[in-house]
């Protein structure tokens, strides 16, 4: 049996909370087939399992396993920020922040390359 995975925190801005309440009180966050994070007040057409978080008149449903680590385990340290934006049209958006990936070596590669490819000063 798998253990339930919950993101560390979900922060909903006051404008987003008001917009969610005005649209029925539920927000669904999932990854579409192209890998993009979606945040809508109507659930996606495919059946997904969700972790549910509630606040003052709103409920956010985050698809389980939306982020997976290299070993197949779900990332437990995700912080979600649900916000309301006006451009290019009024919409809810789900932004996320996760601690650095211990397997990501891009900063190490950049550091090494910056030492190798120093500009010639003549």
**Among 4-18, 34-48, 53-67, 95-109, where is mean pLDDT lowest?**
95-109
- 89: preceding bond cis by omega (within 30 degrees): no
Closest C-alpha to 29, from 67, 71, 55: 67
| Residue 110 pLDDT | 57
Contact by Cβ (8 Å): 74, 63? no
Distances (CA, A) of 117 to 105, 110, 112: 18, 10, 9
CA dist., res. 25 & res. 47, Å (int): 20
Q: Dihedrals φ, ψ of 21, to 5°?
A: -60, -40
Residue 93: count other Cβ atoms within 10 Å of its Cβ: 14
- What does the pLDDT look like over 62-74, one tens digit per residue? 998 887 654 555 5
Asked if residue 75 has pLDDT above 80, the reply is no
Predicted TM-score (pTM) of this structure: 0.70
Contact by Cβ (8 Å): 100, 69? no
Given pLDDT bands bounded at 50, 70 and 90, which one contains residue 1? very low
Q: What is the mean pLDDT of residues 33-55?
A: 92
Closest C-alpha to 63, from 36, 33, 31: 31
Asked if residue 22 has pLDDT above 90, the reply is yes
Domains, the chain: 9-116 (2.60.300)
Give the CA radius of gyration of the chain.
Answer: 19
């Amino acid at each position: 049996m798998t253990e339930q995975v919950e993101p560390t925190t979900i922060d909903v801005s006051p404008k987003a909370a008001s917009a969610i309440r005005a649209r029925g009180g539920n927000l669904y966050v999932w990854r579409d087939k192209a890998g993009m994070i979606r945040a809508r007040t109507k659930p996606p057409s495919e059946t997904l399992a969700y972790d549910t978080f509630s606040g003052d008149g709103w409920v956010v449903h985050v698809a389980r396993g939306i982020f997976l680590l290299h070993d197949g385990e779900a990332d437990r340290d995700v912080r979600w920020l649900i916000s309301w934006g006006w451009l290019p049209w009024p919409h809810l958006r789900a932004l996320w922040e996760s601690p650095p990936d211990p397997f990501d070596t891009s900063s190490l590669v950049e550091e090494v390359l910056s030492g190798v490819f120093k500009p010639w000063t003549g």
